[in-house]
Structure formats: C-alpha cells, structure tokens
C-alpha cells in the first residue's frame, strides 16, 4: 500500500502549549483512517496542519511524496468537511459545489456539469438552485461533501462532520460516507470523538492523547488488544484488573487481585513471577454463569443500561470493584434484574488481554 499522506515528526506549539508532539503517521491510498481522542488531544490541530490551515512548528507533511512545507492552504489539494460545514450562505447549492472548480479556473459550462454530477451522486440534484438556509441538516451535509469531493482530491479531511446530526441521520450518513469512500478510493482522514463512527467506518483507528498517538490499529485490534490502560479506558466497555503475577497450586500463572486470583491467558505465561501487570477483559467476553467457569467473579447488581440489541449490567464485587458485562437481550428474558441481586460472571482465561502497568495514566480509576 503506497502512502498518500506521510506525517513526519510533526510538532505544533501554540505559545507554551504543545498541541501535537513529534507525531509520525502514514496514511495509505484509499484508506479510511479515523483519528479519535478527547478534546484537546490535538486531533483537530493535526487535521488543520494537513490542510495547511496551521503550519507545523517542526517536522513535515508529505502529500503524494511531496513536501507541503511552506505551502499555504489554498495551494494544497486537501479539501475538508467542517464540523460547522462552513457552507457559503450567500451562494446557492450549485454555486457552493462549483466554488472549488471556479477557483481552479474550470470553464462555467464544464464546472456546472461536474457539480451537477456530484449533486446527482449524493441525491440532492433537485435542490441545486436552493438557498443553503432552505435545506435540512442532512441535505446540507451532502452539499458539504459534494463541495469537497467535486475536485476529486486524493485525500478528504473530515472534522467531526456528523456531530451536528441526530442519531438516525448519523447512521444514514455513515453508510453514505463509507459507500462513497469505497467507491471512489479516495483516502479519508476522519476526526471524531464518537466510537461508533470511528469503529463502524474506518480501516484503521488512531487514538490520540496529549498530542501523541497512543495506539493505531484496526478497530478489532484496538478493541481486543489495547496497549495501555488509557486506550482500554478510552474505548470503554472494558474491565481492567491490576495485580501481581503468581503461580497457583496447579502451577498455572494467575493474577492476584482483591477479588481473588484470576487465571491469565496462555500468551501471558512468559510474565515473570511478582511482575505488576494489568489485565483487560472486554465486557462482551463475560457471560453470566451459575456453574463452572475457569474465571469467576460474583457481585451485586447495581445498574443496567440498554444499548439496543444488548444490555450492559453493572456489578459490584465484594471488594467494591465495578464490573461491566454485556448481555444479549434474549438472555435477559428469564432473568429478574432486581437491584442488589447477586450474579456470577465467568470468562475464559484466553479472552483476557495483558497490558503493561502504565504509570502515566494511573490517575484514572
């Protein structure tokens, strides 16, 4: 996979504050890359540097192997979809979409034709002569996409484009976006704070914090094998146990916790005795059990949360630790969810994932 976009040791400082800290990243041609992070993580600054709206303090950004150093925003072919959409209110739909072509000196007849093609593609051709103020949120979203894509750029930058839409519209736009991306083969760099947007559409996800990449990988990788406690907690829906590596009487490696020993996955058998590690178990890997399970924990039911097809149950163990378990709706039919009821959860040792004890993010929990 050839790289369309290479970010090389880029640092961006605003006064004394460092927004992006010597960050490197390669984005492949035709890739859908999501960048996630909480606000202030530097994700938007990174996107703005790619677009040339900010210049890096150090490092370089290569577009199709060409350095963009010194290139102003209007000298780059990196259109962006704004969170506010930034559609021109004084132009109608067609004129908005034509804007980029007009600036590139495309003749009127030609640019009208190309703009109309894009309006048709996004199924908004009947609104061509409408004012922006006469459109709904979803229609505006499509105009913004058409305006950015009309020049058929190598890379499209998207800065939380769906955050202003309501839930069902977000779902529809997600399928529009991923459909377009696959069809066009254009590289999408998509900044978001929404897990569902990042995980449902992207090939790879970057988790950023404090201007650095915490982890990069496929959604599945990140979810099953977070490298740090920060990533595990950021992605939520995870149970994290910390303790020391010991050997039980059967000679198997276990993690000692306040709630008793937990058997480690075989992958972690190389860990030395006495080493402090953390074990992540995804909430969907836990099952409710009343009999035998290699790893077991009991707790009182303290809360529940419906999430569509499933339910998140919150248990509190004897030591006061909170455990999240995701249960499919059908399993709940013959289960009474009286608060305070005692439940036992179990899981296979190999569903656990060991991360290094990360002191940097220790302050959480």
User: Per the structure block, which two tokens stand in for 350?
Assistant: 């190999």
Is 86 a binder of another protein (CB under 8 A)? yes
**What is the total count of residues that contact another protein (CB under 8 A)?**
33
Closer to another protein at the Cβ: 1 or 73?
73
Is 80 a binder of another protein (CB under 8 A)? yes
Is 103 a binder of another protein (CB under 8 A)? yes
Residue among 52, 43, 45 nearest 78 (CA): 52
Site map for another protein, 136-155, x if CB under 8 A?
Answer: -----------xx--x----
Element spanning 222, H or E = helix 219-224
Contact segment (CB under 8 A) with another protein among 32-40, 89-97, 171-179, 209-217 equals 89-97
Is 72 a binder of another protein (CB under 8 A)? yes
Is 66 a binder of another protein (CB under 8 A)? no
Tokens 């004084």, residue? 90
| The binder of another protein chosen from 17, 70, 90, 168 (CB under 8 A) | 90
Is 108 a binder of another protein (CB under 8 A)? no
Contact segment (CB under 8 A) with another protein among 5-13, 59-67, 84-92, 310-318 equals 84-92
Please list, residue by residue across 143-170, b when 16 or more beta carbons sit within 10 angstroms of its beta carbon and e when fewer do.
bbbbbbbbbebebbbbbbbbeebeeeeb
Q: What is the Cβ-side half-sphere exposure of residue 42, based on CA atoms within 13 angstroms? A: 23
Compute the radius of gyration of the chain from its Cα atoms. Answer: 25
User: Closest separation between CB of residue 41 and another protein, Å?
Assistant: 20
User: Closest separation between CB of residue 101 and another protein, Å?
Assistant: 9
User: Closest separation between CB of residue 174 and another protein, Å?
Assistant: 23
Is 163 a binder of another protein (CB under 8 A)? no
- In whole angstroms, give the CA distance from residue 295 to residue 94: 61
CB 361 within 8 A of CB 229: yes
Q: Where are the beta strands (DSSP E) in the chain?
A: 3-14, 17-28, 32-36, 58-63, 66-67, 80-81, 155-159, 187-192, 204-209, 212-217, 238-247, 253-257, 260-263, 276-282, 287-288, 295-307, 310-317, 322-328, 342-347, 352-356
| The binder of another protein chosen from 73, 107, 307, 337 (CB under 8 A) | 73
Among positions 5-64, residues that touch another protein (CB under 8 A) are: 51-53
Contact segment (CB under 8 A) with another protein among 12-20, 85-93, 116-124, 160-168 equals 85-93
User: Closest separation between CB of residue 130 and another protein, Å?
Assistant: 5
Please report, as ranges, the residues that interact with another protein according to CB under 8 A: 51-53, 72-75, 77-80, 82, 84, 86-92, 99-100, 103-104, 129-134, 147-148, 151
């Amino acid at each position: 996979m050839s790289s369309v976009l290479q970010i090389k040791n880029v640092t961006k400082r605003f006064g004394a504050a460092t927004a992006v800290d010597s960050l490197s990243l390669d984005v492949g041609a035709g890739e859908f890359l999501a960048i996630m992070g909480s606000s202030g993580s530097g994700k938007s600054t990174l996107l703005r540097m790619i677009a040339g709206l900010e210049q890096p303090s150090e490092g370089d950004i290569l577009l199709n192997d060409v350095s963009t150093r010194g290139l102003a925003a209007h000298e780059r072919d990196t259109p962006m979809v704004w969170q506010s959409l930034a559609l021109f209110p004084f132009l109608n739909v067609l004129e908005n979409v034509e804007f980029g072509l007009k600036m590139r000196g495309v003749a009127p007849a030609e640019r009208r034709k190309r703009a109309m093609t894009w309006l048709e593609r996004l199924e908004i051709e009947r609104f061509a002569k409408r004012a922006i103020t006469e459109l709904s949120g979803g229609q505006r979203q499509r105009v913004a996409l058409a305006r950015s894509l009309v020049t058929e750029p190598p890379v499209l930058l998207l800065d939380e484009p769906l955050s202003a839409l309501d839930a069902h519209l977000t779902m529809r736009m997600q399928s529009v976006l991923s459909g377009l991306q696959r069809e066009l083969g254009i590289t999408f760099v998509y900044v978001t704070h929404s897990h569902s947007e990042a995980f449902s559409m992207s090939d790879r996800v970057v988790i950023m914090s404090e201007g650095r990449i915490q982890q990069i990988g496929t959604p599945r990788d990140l979810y099953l094998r977070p490298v740090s406690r920060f990533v595990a907690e950021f992605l939520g829906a995870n149970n994290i146990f910390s303790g020391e590596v010991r050997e039980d009487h059967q000679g198997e490696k276990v993690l000692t916790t306040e709630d008793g020993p937990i058997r480690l996955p075989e992958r972690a058998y190389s860990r030395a005795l006495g080493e402090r590690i953390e074990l992540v178990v995804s909430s969907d890997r836990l099952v409710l059990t009343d009999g035998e399970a290699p790893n077991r924990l009991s707790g009182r039911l303290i809360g529940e949360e419906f999430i569509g097809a499933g339910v998140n149950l919150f248990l509190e163990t004897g030591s006061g630790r909170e455990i999240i378990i995701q249960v499919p709706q059908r399993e709940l039919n013959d289960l009474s969810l009286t608060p305070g009821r005692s439940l036992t959860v179990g899981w296979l040792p190999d569903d656990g994932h060991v991360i290094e004890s990360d002191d940097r993010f220790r302050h959480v929990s």
